[in-house]
Amino acid sequence: MADSSLPRAEVGILLYPGCQQAMVHGMTDLIDIAGQFSVQHGGPVVRVSHWQM
1-53 confidence digits (pLDDT tens): 456 566 688 999 999 999 999 999 999 999 999 999 999 999 988 999 999 98
Instruction: Give the pLDDT score at 53.
Output: 87
Cβ atoms of residues 47 and 8 within 8 Å: no
Instruction: Give the pLDDT score at 16.
Output: 95
Instruction: Give the pLDDT score at 6.
Output: 65
Instruction: Give the pLDDT score at 1.
Output: 47
Q: What pTM, to 2 d.p., does this model score? A: 0.77
- Show the beta-strand stretches assigned E in the chain: 9-15, 46-52
Instruction: Give the pLDDT score at 8.
Output: 81
Q: How many helices (H) and strands (E) does the chain have?
A: 1, 2
